[in-house]
Each structure stands twice: as structure tokens, then as C-alpha cells.
Structure 1
Amino acid sequence: MPKTNPLRTRFAAVLLAVTAGAALALLGAQLASDPVSGSSSAQRDEATGTTPPSEPPRQSSAPPEKADKPDKPTGKTCAAIVESLSPRQRLAQILMVGVDPTSADSATKVAGEEGIGGIFLGGNETGLLVDDKLAGVHDAAALPLAVSVDDEGGRVQRVDELDGDVPSAREMARTMSVAEVHRLARERGAALRERGVTIDFAPVVDVTTQPDEDVIGDRSFGADPAVVSKYAAAFAQGLQESGVLPVVKHFPGHGRASGDSHVATVSTPALAELRKVDLLPYQKVLRSTRAAVMVGHMSVPGLTNGVPATLSPATYRLLRGELAFDGITITDDLGGMQAVSDRYPLPKAVLASLTAGADIAFWSSGEQHVDEVLDTLEQAVSDGTLRPERVSDSLTRVLRAKGACSA
């Protein structure tokens, strides 16, 4: 027998108002107009080296709304939504969970029954990205749903079989102008948005001299922070203009780390050295483009005291303080990368990341862990390990970025 969904019951009115197209359009408007970025279109053009397009960016048509669904009500505040949710529902909304990308069953369960706020489609399967299947998943969620992929170009692509191949970042920087990369990303973002995707874990802003095949390698725009800044900002801006949230990664810099955090614990140069090189693209890209930040699993001497950056409060203080970033922070995969999974069970890693300051805890390893993680987090809120105001702060950022509330 299907489980009763109290979140969906409580938000029936919101569900009636939200379709996949409306949620995505609101996300695009939120990202494009958010005053916090403090940068004008002219400033963004200067930062990316792009020329303002002579006509508005091509936008994909949102799926038509059903006749029995009225326009989404306006004026509902983020605080009102947060207040109306139970502690478990609030926690579910700040999780990003990998689902089976071949059918809607897994995604619908996670988003509808469990009330999880975001899903991730990994691998090369495209079953959920065709025939408007994601529209039903969006409809199953009581609040706007974040749907993420990692579509960087090169060897990390998710829709190349459907929408064509995109060069690697290194190849883009070598063969394309900044304006061409901006246009390519805008077109790719429109294709993703048309399929129901709202978040792209791209671009990579790591600075590296690694060979193409190394863990970052050709995923990076290059070894010069200025070049990386220009091209990454253009790519991120293109996604943003299409209504897809770009996620720059891997903070505070994986390009010069000692190895691959997918398979082992790795460390970076000391923080003082990162400030001279690896942090420069973040400073420039986050000033010119409204994006989220993915935090990586590297240990940083002088910053993280031997633990992965995703689980270190000092990482988030650096990002919020020194870099003055107030957007969304997302962890790298907490369940599928051995720099974390070899040291911490998933529920503990999720709790540690949220306690440290992450807004969204992400794991790709599936829905089977949802109840265990939520039980752990609920207990942590109850005993004071995870402060309710910490959860509310992150949830407010997430809801605002998804266009779920007015302020």
C-alpha cells in the first residue's frame, strides 16, 4: 500500500500551482534577477569577454500547463513555508539523492513519498530525460523539485546522445572564443531545461596542468586562473540565462590536489597558496554570475585540519566570509567517493556536512539510504547536534533559488 504523504497533503494548493515548466521558469527568473549578485549585465559582459546578444537568449518553451491548474499564488514567503514544514520535511528538502535514471519510479518515490528536495541523474542512461517523463516527477513533488545532472562536456556528459556532443573545457578554451562558449552553454542549458533539468554540476573552475586523462585534466579550462575565470564565467552565464542553475566546482580547488578524491584521501597546497591561484576563479565567477558552489573532498593544510573540505566548518566560513558568497553550497558525492566513504558512513557524512555549513548534502548511491539518513538527521536536530536555525538558513536559500517563495 502506498505511504501517506503528509508533505503533499499540506502543500496540495502549492502542488496545484506548480508544473515543471512553471518551476523552471521561476528558477530562471530568480537566478537572472537576484539582486544579491550586485552585478549588472554590462559588468557580466566585461567579466566574461562576451558581447551582449542582439536579441534575448533563446528560451525553450515550457510544457503547457493543464487547464485545471491555476497560476501559482504569489506572496508566499520562505519563512511561511519553512514554518509549515515538520523537522523531517525540512531536512528532506536539503538533500540531493541519486535516482535510477532509466524510469520514473525511483524518482517519483524519492520526490513524492519521501519529500526529498532534489534528485540527481547520473550515468549515461537517458530514460528519464525523454518523452517528458520528468514532468510527472516534478508534479509528484509538493514543492518545486531540483533535478541535477553533471553535463560539463568532454568525458563528463549526460545528454550527448540526445542533444549532441560538447567539447571538453580544455578543448573549448583552446579552440573557441569566450563568446562562443557562452552561446554554446546557453543552447545546452536550453536543451537541459526542455528535458526537465534545473541544475547542471558545471562548469569546473579548477586550475590545473594535469594531463587530459587525469581526474581533473581536460575538465579544466586551463592552468591560467585568468583564462579559467573568463571561460568558466561565460559557461556559467550561458546556463543561467537558459534557466538552469550552474554549479561551479570543486571548491576550494581540486586541480592541484595530490590525487583523485573518488578513490583516496587527497590534499591540496596550503591555503596561502590556494589564495594565489585556485581561489581566483571563484572570486571572479561568483561576482559575475549567480551560481551555486560544489565543495570538494580535499584536505587543505591551513584550513580543514585534516578532514575533507566538505565536512569542515572552516571551508564554509572561507566561502561565506572571505569570498562573500551567499548562494547555495552543495557537497560533492558523499556516498560514492572514497575520500569520504572510506572514513565515514553515509548518515554521519551527511550530518557532518550540514553541521559544517553545507546547504545541500548530495549522494549518488540511491534511495535505499533515505530513511536512515533522515532518521539520523532528525535525531541530531532533536539532541541539538544540528541546530534548527542551521537547517532553516539552508532551506531558505534552497527554496528561494527554486522559486518556491517570494522572499
Structure 2
Amino acid sequence: MNKPIAVALAGVLVLVGCAATPPEPSRQASSVAPSRTPSRTPSASVHPTASPSTTPPQQRCLSTAANLSRKAQVGQLIMVGVNGPLTAAERKLIAAQQLGSVVLLGDQPGSVKSLAATTAQLSGLVAEVPVVTAADQEGGLVQRLNGPGFTTIPNANRQAQLSDVALRTAAQKWGSQLAAAGVRWNLAPVADVVPKAKLKTNQPIGALHRGYGSDPAVVTEKTQAVIDGLKAAGVVASVKHFPGLGEVVGNTDFASGIVDSVTTADSPSLAPFQAAAQAGVASVMISSARYSKIDPNNQAVFSATVIGLVRGWGYQGVVISDDLGAAASVRKIPAGQRAVRFVAAGGDVVIDADPSLVPAMTAALLAKAAKDPAFATRVTESAARVLALKQDLGVFRCG
């Protein structure tokens, strides 16, 4: 893709998970301490024992979700992309579809103060459950919010040169700016491990300096430092893009048929994701590439096997998709089926960078739930996880 075309598309296509060409742009599952040297294979997570006199938070949120209308439940499963100032049409869509979250796309030039007014407006668009605003605020080429009040964040390569303590402190500062702007969910950090030999040819991560290195142990430390810093500022994180985009060449935003033929279910490169999951990161983003040595028949976002790896670590937080709206990797699949297949595979929140596809996605989810009781249960379970994340943020209370 030539540069003029790429720049033109940056405002309308998702660059949520995988930045393609510049400019690109918790729910805490348990109280387990971060695993700084995780095992290379999945292991069971430890869960705190609930007091017999209280209802565990997850159970309360499940009950609360079950009491929502089916449409409200489905709405919690959609994160719609918004480019630039919020329009009347976007406000109407969010309210009518009772959507649970919004992700700010494109370059958002507004100040912290002006953005806070926008996010406050967004929050109140759905009466039953507040809307949460998210952003891709990684740093480097992927920093959506860069107006007055927002620090220019270095790319991950440069962040990795900081000590863990310094990086955590810096992330807390960046997170405090997000929180002041009402952006409480950061779709970062990138936990993908790019081999040294592929740093220049790996288009989504290595070539754009979005990764923390080629050593899984180092990437684990740096991603956890960012997660911890954001959490200290009142912002939840999302590690991405499981099971990793470090071994691929092409970018799923702009190309279809991207296949990783190297990564396995016990590859060392999964260590940063496992550590984050077992430490209770709010969300884990799933890649839309295909992993032939894990599930050769399905893209990761549609693979119960891939998502099952995360759940196999005892993870009870939100599993979120990479873009299923405008990304080239899913373009041949009907929009409604993208949402249904992701949720059926065990996913919780669908990112849709194309607002025009939201009605098709919600309609398909509602139709599937109406005729399939097992799927309806899945929808309720996913809605409960989103409510739990919002409860952790202090914007909603279950039970």
C-alpha cells in the first residue's frame, strides 16, 4: 500500500490492534501477584476464597447481567470505533444499540479537558450501564491522544530501555492523563515477542517499533510494568495480540490470509501473555491472524482452541477481539457472523471500527441467542465480565 492511501485510510480503517503505516495510529481477574518468571506452559490460576457471608463479585455481576434485557447484554459486547468529534449519528447509534464501550480512533487532537467533556457525554448515553471509553495509547506511532495535556509517549523500543520501576512510574503518569480525560481502558501494552531476525520484516510490530524486545522474559517485565502503572492511575489495560504477532510478516489490518506457522500452544513467546493473565490484567486482545500449529482451521479470533489457552490459565477477565469491523483480515466474512463466531469461540467484546456494521452485529447476536440457549448463556456470561470490569473501574456496581 502506498503512503497516501495508507494515510487516507488511517481515519476510517481500524488501526486498533495492528498499526500498519505511520501515522497509526481491570477487570482484575484475581488478586494473584504478577508472575515475573512464568512457566512456558499453561498453569492453573489461584483464586481468592470468597467469604461465606458474601456473594463473590463475579457471581453478583452474573446475576446482574442476567437481569438485563437481551439487547442490553448484547450491547455490552460491542466496542464501537469513533473518529474525531462525536457526531449526532454516533450518539444515536450508541444509545439505540445500548453499546457498552467506545474506542477513540484516528488522531484525537483535543485537550485532556475537552476530551473529558466528550467522554462524560459518552458515559451517559446508555441509561442502564455507563459507556466506557477506550483508546490505543501505546506510544510512538500509536498514540491516539496527543493534544494539550497529553505527554508524547516514546515507542515501546525506547520504553524498554527504562528500568521496570521507571517504566511503571512513566505509565502511571500517562495513565493519569487518560483518566483525567475520562479514558479508563487502554488497549495496550503490546506483549508480542518479535525474534531479532524478524524485527525489520515483521510489519505490524517490529517495523513500527511497537514491541518491548525479542526476549520473552524482558517483554514480560516491561508489559507488566506498564499494566501496573496504568492500574495505579485508575486505568485498565489490554495486552495484545494473543497468541502474538511477532512471527508474521503481513498486517491483518491491511491484508488477509496472515498465517503464523511457528507459534505453538507452549511457545516461550506466550509467556508475557500468561504472566499478564495470571496477574489479573483487565483484558486480553486476540489476534485475527491464523496460527497453523494451534488451530489450522480458524483465525485466532474465531478459535475456541486459541481462546481456550487463555482460559486454561484460569483467566476470568475480558477477552477482546482485534478489529472485526474494517480490518482486511475479516472482510470476506459477513459482519454479523464475525461477532457471532467470536462470542461462540469464547470471546467477550467485539471491537468494530466501522460503526455502520454495528446493527448487523447486534442483530446477529440477538438472533443467535434467541434460537440457541447455550449461546444465550454465553452472551450473559460475557456481559457479566464486562460489568465486572466496569465495577472494578468504579463506574458501575453489580448486585
TM-superposed CA distance for 1:133, in Å, is 2.2
Contact in 1 for aligned 2:191/2:273 (Cα 8 Å): yes
Tell me: higher relative CO, structure 1 or 2? Use CA pairs within 8 A at least 6 residues apart: 2
Aligned partner of 1:145 among 121, 131, 136: 131
SS of alignment partner, residue 96 of structure 1: strand
Between 136-145 and 190-199, report the one with greater CA deviation.
136-145
Asked if the contact 2:231–2:237 (Cα under 8 Å) also holds between the matched residues in 1, the reply is: yes
1:352 correspondence with 2:341: yes
1:371 aligns with 2:359: yes
- Give deviations 1:235-276, integer Å, cap 9, x for gaps: 11111111111000000010112421122221113443x623
Q: Aligned match of 2:372 in 373, 376, 384?
A: 384
> Which residue in the other structure is 1:284 paired with?
275
Q: Find the aligned partners of 1:311 and 1:242 in 2 and give their Cα distance.
A: 33
Structure with the larger strand share: 2
Are the equivalent residues in 1 in contact too, given 2:125–2:131 (CA < 8 A)?
no
Partner Cα separation in structure 1 for residue 308 and residue 298 of structure 2: 15
Question: Kindly tell me: are residues 117 and 108 of structure 1, through their superposed partners in 2, closer, same or farther at Cα, counting changes over 3 Å?
Answer: same
In 1, Cα distance between equivalents of 2:167 and 2:289: 29
What amino acid is aligned across from residue 184 of structure 2 in structure 1?
Answer: T
Q: 1:127 to 1:161 in 2, by over 3 A?
A: closer
Q: Given the superposition, is the C-alpha separation of residues 328 and 79 from structure 1 closer, same or farther in structure 2, using an over 3 Å criterion?
A: closer
**Alignment counterpart, residue 256 of structure 2, candidates 236, 240, 264:** 264
Aligned equivalent of 1:166: 153
Q: Equivalents in 2 of 1:250, 1:211: separation in Å?
A: 18
Q: Which amino acid aligns with 1:139?
A: G
Matched, 1:90 2:61: no
The 3-state SS of whatever aligns with 2:245 is coil
1:45-78 per-position Cα deviation (integer Å, ceiling 9, x unaligned): x679xxxxxxxxxxxxxxxxxxxxxxxxx9x942
> Which residue matches 2:330?
340
**Range moving further from structure 2, 159-168 or 103-112:** 103-112
Q: Which residue of 1 aligns with 2:213?
A: 222
Q: Deviations over 1:123-168 (max 9, x none)?
A: 0034596422221221222212121110100100012233121111
> Is the counterpart of residue 405 in structure 1 residue 394 in structure 2?
no
- In 2, distance between residues paired with 1:126 and 1:145? 21
Structure 1 residues 373 and 36: CA distance shift in structure 2, 3 A: same
Provide the rounded CA distance (Å) in 2 between the counterparts of 1:100 and 1:243: 24
Q: Give the AA of the match of 1:100.
A: N
AA in 2 matched with 1:330: I
Q: Structure 1 residue 114: deviation in Å?
A: 2.1
Supply the distance in 2 between the matched residues of 1:258 and 1:314 (Cα, whole angstroms).
Answer: 23
Of 231, 236, 243, the match for 2:227: 236
Task: Tell me, yes or no, if the aligned pair for 2:112 and 2:180 is still in contact at 8 Å.
Answer: no
Aligned-partner residue type, residue 215 of structure 2 = D
Determine if the alignment matches structure 1 residue 315 to structure 2 residue 306: yes
The CA deviation string for residues 257-306 of structure 1, in whole angstroms up to 9 with x for no partner, is: 2421122221113443x623221111222333533100001111232223
Q: What is the Cα deviation at residue 35 of structure 1?
A: 6.9
Partner of 1:121: 104
Between the aligned partners of 1:284 and 1:205, the Cα distance in structure 2 is 10
1:285–1:86 distance in 2 versus 1, CA, 3 Å: closer
Structure 2 alignment gaps of length 5 or more: 1-25, 39-56
2-structure distance, mates of 1:385, 1:349:
19
- Contact 1:206–1:216 (Cα < 8 Å) also in 2: yes
Aligned to 1:394: 382
Moved more, 129-138 or 386-395: 129-138
Match of 1:192 in 2: 178
Q: Distance in 2 between matches of 1:250 and 1:168?
A: 17
The root-mean-square deviation of aligned C-alpha atoms, in Å, is: 2.5
Deviation at 1:326?
Answer: 1.4
- The 3-state SS of whatever aligns with 1:198 is strand
Residue 313 of structure 1 deviates from its aligned partner by 1.0
SS in 1 for 2:316: coil
Equivalent residue of 1:164, what SS? coil
Overall identity of the aligned pairs, in %:
27
Secondary structure in 1 aligned to 2:81?
strand
Matched, 1:298 2:289: yes
- Structure-2 change in CA distance of 1:166 and 1:47 (3 Å): farther
Partner residue in 1 for 2:21 = none
Cα separation, partners in 2 of 1:181 and 1:350, compared to 1, 3 Å: same
Name the SS of the counterpart of 2:147 in structure 1.
helix
1:155 to 112, 134, 141: 141
Q: What code does the residue aligned with 1:235 have?
A: V
1:96 & 1:289 partners in 2: Cα distance? 21
Q: CA offsets per residue over residues 187-230 of structure 1, 9 Å max, x none?
A: 11110111111111100000013129831011000001011011
**How does the TM-score come out when normalised to structure 1?**
0.78
Q: Distance in 2 between matches of 1:84 and 1:286?
A: 28
Following superposition, the deviation at residue 107 of structure 1 comes to 4.5
SS state at 2:296 partner: coil
AA aligned to 1:92 is: G
CA distance in 2 between partners of 1:137 and 1:207 (Å):
35
Q: Would the alpha carbon gap of residues 222 and 252 (structure 1) be closer, same or farther in structure 2, given more than 3 Å must change?
A: same
* Aligned equivalents of 1:126, 1:104: Cα separation in 2: 16
Query: Which structure carries more helix by proportion?
Result: 1
Residue identity matched to 1:283? Q
- SS of the residue corresponding to residue 121 of structure 1 reads strand
